[in-house]
Structure 1
């Protein structure tokens, strides 16, 4: 594929955004849908064509498209340029492929929503910025995409802007991410200062040709980039925005908060591996953050009742796995898990949306149960996703998760064995809470009343409305609310589930290690990007296959234990979990309330900041200085006006007197002024 076609990949979604965002309100929904789908389908086809081209014999390792200079000032030039290497190609495949499937699903899920055109305009805008982020060949252009996906996330999370919780969730996501973005900006300032460029090629080549550069300013840059990644990829301490982002429509959760945007931080760290490899301290920090986030979020996910929040904390935990992998230098393993996670987590969110659709908006798992025969396609596809994320062989998640655990165990990083143990425990917890979701949703007695009237809040709203979904109601003559039985989703929603379910089964086979009879194709595919193997990969190539198989066996046993506990607690003896919670109410409430992190942030940061804003900025600055200055200016103007208007009295004698006085003043000035000039 010639490089000149690269610009179509981001341009087409942007065109879809412009069309639907400007005239979409006046277009029929079928045309809005067609525009949005075409704007994402063609880029997916182009990426497939690009994939075939770059896999051909003799194909270059990277394709570049450079425009005219974007910024050209003394000592700094930045081109608006795209670069596609194997890492970019893999990310583009995820963004465009999974993105198209989610767009297709959304056409059914959002079919009766108000603002249908607006929703697809925002989705296309997100695809545009995510493509820019992935294609960028410089830190600055990456930052444009980085900020753009943050904007699109804010718009989509707050799509139900009339609902306070959704509007607040959108603002929370936007503000928390700005904290991380501040670190990214500072990192770019340091890069410009010390390298004189923001181009990836220039910066990484400068590092490669100076093997003596270690630590110091490189560590400072790396840690600031890590701060940016913790915001975008929802790691401790900036993870708090992602669970609340579930207030947006379910397809938004699948696209932005599972498959694409939240992996941007992982992608950025892997892209900058040359920089991070020169800072062991920064890598250790990444490994510690990833391990802590993985087990912390898994703890919270074990006791959540909202089906989407379980998946949200699961996403945070799995992102911790990816961070952990990068921290021990196993970038290929982290990207491998990013790939498989995109398949099974998008599937899980979309299947959860199908469950919510079937129950007319219900998200509480305590009000589900017995759905496997009511919605069989949703059940079987979601089962594939549950098995994949739990790490059961031969599903996709097993190979990527075990690759991370193996690389961590064999890593020379001082935290290697510790993060392996944490990752292993997290694997068991993941198995437990995912099978908990599976049993509570699809097995046991039915806890829903399919004939119960649905609250409408005074206006007809369709059941697809996600977090605030309600059924249409009849208000004429005081008639009872319309009821709706449990029903399977339409095929426009089920087709993406089937495709993602297949990928959740076979998607990990590209990374089957040699110890299990495979060739680890993804490692070979990404080898041109990570051409200089780090210490982990060098060390693990000499490790015995027996060790790898042994660690995989231990992992499977831990996953089986997690399944066994979920089976006993929520299927065999369903009252066991509640009984245990009653025995340790303090611990249960601590975890149930998410360790009160949001409350701590509110008390320590938000409330003092608001008080400072109201008292100092609002009271002293705004109320005193700004309003006082305006009041003083007004009073001065009124005072001068009251004096001047006396001149305009309307009395001719007065005017004549003022004229004479003025003439006398002019004469005096002329006489005395000339006298002073002559002397």
Structure 2
């Protein structure tokens, strides 16, 4: 059953490839979705049949046998992998069903459904891998299929640029992960995850030479793995691909930014959590600092964006920052809880945004929307639920998972935990502001769209509303029902075999050592954010517009994402083009070509011209040549004798 839950999405892709043009597109798309439904059912049954501490490696076949190096094709079946496979399958199934309606008028919808299935398979392959090399294949497969999905509308230049950007930026992070794999094999002699974790204590003191320095081997491996995770999970510095990935169809955004690709980095750090704990405090502090910067950066930039999908994309970036902050304070179970919780409400938000875009004739600018709450009431309710869960309003999923992260940051043992805690609260405030701003601009302001567009605004079909309804149920109840499984008395018993559990922090949380003020501060930040939006968009609307004009420089700074893309363009892109042009002009053209093919051809041409002068056509020239030649020949012959 567990193997079927992983490989059925691959069959979905093969169905789309083989039956395309042979059956009606509608039937192929529905068949593809049916495969995902069965995959989710298999994943659910596998999860129910799993024993609490079961950890089984299902070997499919031998892959590499070279000396002491051996790698098998194998699937890890345990609570961590099974729960992740279930979540990925479930969310992907809903996105497949939604896509049947969303892409109904697209000529290449069968190809799109095939790409979705292939993407899902690679993600499932990644999270269920028993060894790091097999995981890396899934990692690269996800990167490849994300390129195909982001650039699906290839006739749009922006889509092509965004796809290439995502592919190239992720290669930067992947280079770090490849180095980590090499270092892991050098230190441990294996890439099997369980074997690496068993050998931790024996290799804890080893050092390796890297770039001329003697470094603690495990710390080096953790930092290199983290660089790989920064790229895949869009952490600050390697985040620039994520907002541009919005150029793909909206279901792609939901799949990539909710349950799959961007969570791969977080998941990898969680399964390698014992390795992280054996590294120096420096590596954990680095993870915490980068996560904190990402959280505040993305949430502040989201406030000033006008593209509905970009706002939600930056919120994804910010929420991933929270997960990395949790990892930085050794709260891995809480990070995983937020990963699962975030998958449901973020998929709900993206698909809800797709429903809005669908009703608005593909318009994505929230400044050209407004007054839609009575035009598309079902979508409005779903967007409210998703936004409230993202903000962390009490009793919704986001409230339980995000507040747990903030409390664990407060209880953490890092030197920078105080700064991280303060920034996490500020980020809650910013999250509330951009979430409420989105709801106001899209649903409650006076409509700013074209009259023809406004006249055709309509609710999405049932096949699109149904996935939204199911996701909204999980966005409401998942956190409430599941939070006791990720923090509290039974935490080690449940998750201790599969990830590191910091008993000191968990015990402090269990006995109630978190002050009431710390618990209530996020809620205070939410209330302040809602109040701020009410004042600035309703009470002091004219004054806020005047202030915006006076603070134009600051507004432009955040609207342009702190000019990170422009800085990268100047430092890396333009310098690369300048360097390449210099090599082309100075070395390739002037040096190599002139000394090589061009120089030889000129030399031969000049020699030919000299020789051609001897062929004048006059008889006395030829006689003279014969006499001179004969004289030279006789002179040399006499000299030799």
Q: Contact 2:150–2:163 (CA<8 Å) still a contact in 1?
A: yes
> Residues of 2 paired with 1:560 and 1:332: CA distance?
28
Q: Does residue 407 in structure 1 map to residue 408 in structure 2?
A: yes
Q: How many residues align?
A: 601
Q: Contact 2:53–2:79 (CA<8 Å) still a contact in 1?
A: no
Q: For residue 274 of structure 1, what is the aligned residue in structure 2?
A: 274
C-alpha distance 370-381 of structure 1, shift in aligned 2 (>3 A): same
C-alpha distance 447-416 of structure 1, shift in aligned 2 (>3 A): same
With structure 1 as the length reference, what TM-score do the two structures score?
A: 0.84
> Residues of 2 paired with 1:14 and 1:630: CA distance?
51
Q: Output the aligned Cα RMSD.
A: 2.7
Moved more, 215-224 or 317-326: 215-224
Q: For residue 460 of structure 1, what is the aligned residue in structure 2?
A: none
> Residues of 2 paired with 1:412 and 1:170: CA distance?
40
> Residues of 2 paired with 1:387 and 1:520: CA distance?
29
Alignment of 1:369-448 (within 5 A): 369-448=370-449
C-alpha distance 564-253 of structure 1, shift in aligned 2 (>3 A): same
> Residues of 2 paired with 1:618 and 1:90: CA distance?
56
Q: For residue 507 of structure 1, what is the aligned residue in structure 2?
A: 478
> Residues of 1 paired with 2:64 and 2:316: CA distance?
38
Q: Contact 1:181–1:231 (CA<8 Å) still a contact in 2?
A: yes
Moved more, 372-381 or 9-18: 9-18
Q: For residue 10 of structure 2, what is the aligned residue in structure 1?
A: 14
Q: For residue 198 of structure 2, what is the aligned residue in structure 1?
A: 205
Q: Contact 2:39–2:89 (CA<8 Å) still a contact in 1?
A: yes
Q: For residue 526 of structure 1, what is the aligned residue in structure 2?
A: 495
Q: Does residue 341 in structure 1 map to residue 342 in structure 2?
A: yes
Alignment of 1:227-246 (within 5 A): 227-246=227-246
Q: Contact 1:207–1:213 (CA<8 Å) still a contact in 2?
A: no
Secondary structure, aligned partner of 1:360: coil
Q: Contact 1:25–1:117 (CA<8 Å) still a contact in 2?
A: no
Q: For residue 256 of structure 2, what is the aligned residue in structure 1?
A: 256
Q: Does residue 496 in structure 1 map to residue 463 in structure 2?
A: no
Q: For residue 98 of structure 2, what is the aligned residue in structure 1?
A: 105
Secondary structure, aligned partner of 1:304: coil
Alignment of 1:83-94 (within 5 A): 83-94=76-87
> Residues of 1 paired with 2:246 and 2:44: CA distance?
31
Q: Contact 1:329–1:536 (CA<8 Å) still a contact in 2?
A: no
Q: Does residue 304 in structure 1 map to residue 305 in structure 2?
A: yes
Question: What displacement does 1:624 show?
Answer: 6.1
Q: For residue 210 of structure 2, what is the aligned residue in structure 1?
A: none
Q: For residue 67 of structure 2, what is the aligned residue in structure 1?
A: 74
Alignment of 1:145-156 (within 5 A): 145-156=138-149
Q: Does residue 43 in structure 1 map to residue 39 in structure 2?
A: yes
Q: Contact 2:298–2:317 (CA<8 Å) still a contact in 1?
A: yes
Question: What displacement does 1:630 show?
Answer: 6.2
C-alpha distance 450-525 of structure 1, shift in aligned 2 (>3 A): farther
Q: Contact 2:411–2:514 (CA<8 Å) still a contact in 1?
A: no
Q: For residue 591 of structure 1, what is the aligned residue in structure 2?
A: 558
Cα deviation digits, residues 62-120 of structure 1 (max 9, x gap): 23211332111012001111102211122112210000000000000000012111111
Q: Does residue 182 in structure 1 map to residue 178 in structure 2?
A: no
Secondary structure, aligned partner of 1:277: helix
Q: For residue 158 of structure 1, what is the aligned residue in structure 2?
A: 151
Q: Does residue 552 in structure 1 map to residue 519 in structure 2?
A: yes
Cα deviation digits, residues 152-204 of structure 1 (max 9, x gap): 10000001111110000000000000000000000000111111110001111
Q: For residue 327 of structure 1, what is the aligned residue in structure 2?
A: 328
Secondary structure, aligned partner of 1:236: coil
> Residues of 2 paired with 1:622 and 1:101: CA distance?
56
> Residues of 1 paired with 2:191 and 2:351: CA distance?
38
Question: What displacement does 1:523 show?
Answer: 7.3
Q: Does residue 194 in structure 1 map to residue 194 in structure 2?
A: no
Secondary structure, aligned partner of 2:237: coil
Secondary structure, aligned partner of 2:164: helix
Question: What displacement does 1:505 show?
Answer: 0.4
> Residues of 1 paired with 2:291 and 2:591: CA distance?
47
Question: What displacement does 1:27 show?
Answer: 2.9
> Residues of 1 paired with 2:303 and 2:466: CA distance?
30
Secondary structure, aligned partner of 1:159: coil
C-alpha distance 276-30 of structure 1, shift in aligned 2 (>3 A): same
Q: For residue 31 of structure 1, what is the aligned residue in structure 2?
A: 27
C-alpha distance 635-209 of structure 1, shift in aligned 2 (>3 A): same
C-alpha distance 552-222 of structure 1, shift in aligned 2 (>3 A): same
Q: Contact 1:439–1:567 (CA<8 Å) still a contact in 2?
A: no
Q: For residue 143 of structure 1, what is the aligned residue in structure 2?
A: 136
Q: Contact 2:118–2:145 (CA<8 Å) still a contact in 1?
A: yes
Secondary structure, aligned partner of 1:7: helix
Q: Contact 2:19–2:28 (CA<8 Å) still a contact in 1?
A: no
Q: Contact 2:53–2:497 (CA<8 Å) still a contact in 1?
A: no
> Residues of 1 paired with 2:593 and 2:264: CA distance?
42
Q: Contact 1:344–1:500 (CA<8 Å) still a contact in 2?
A: yes
> Residues of 2 paired with 1:523 and 1:506: CA distance?
24
C-alpha distance 332-150 of structure 1, shift in aligned 2 (>3 A): same
> Residues of 1 paired with 2:590 and 2:54: CA distance?
61
> Residues of 2 paired with 1:122 and 1:149: CA distance?
10
Question: What displacement does 1:550 show?
Answer: 3.2
C-alpha distance 512-23 of structure 1, shift in aligned 2 (>3 A): closer
Q: Contact 2:154–2:160 (CA<8 Å) still a contact in 1?
A: yes
Question: What displacement does 1:621 show?
Answer: 4.0
Q: For residue 583 of structure 2, what is the aligned residue in structure 1?
A: 616
Secondary structure, aligned partner of 2:362: coil
Cα deviation digits, residues 414-451 of structure 1 (max 9, x gap): 11121111111101110111011011111121222341
Q: Contact 2:485–2:491 (CA<8 Å) still a contact in 1?
A: no
Q: Contact 1:356–1:362 (CA<8 Å) still a contact in 2?
A: yes
Q: Contact 2:332–2:501 (CA<8 Å) still a contact in 1?
A: no
C-alpha distance 330-489 of structure 1, shift in aligned 2 (>3 A): same
Q: Contact 1:511–1:521 (CA<8 Å) still a contact in 2?
A: no
> Residues of 2 paired with 1:112 and 1:522: CA distance?
48
Secondary structure, aligned partner of 1:545: coil
Question: What displacement does 1:12 show?
Answer: 1.9
Q: Contact 2:98–2:464 (CA<8 Å) still a contact in 1?
A: yes
> Residues of 2 paired with 1:497 and 1:451: CA distance?
27
> Residues of 2 paired with 1:576 and 1:237: CA distance?
36
Q: Contact 1:105–1:251 (CA<8 Å) still a contact in 2?
A: yes
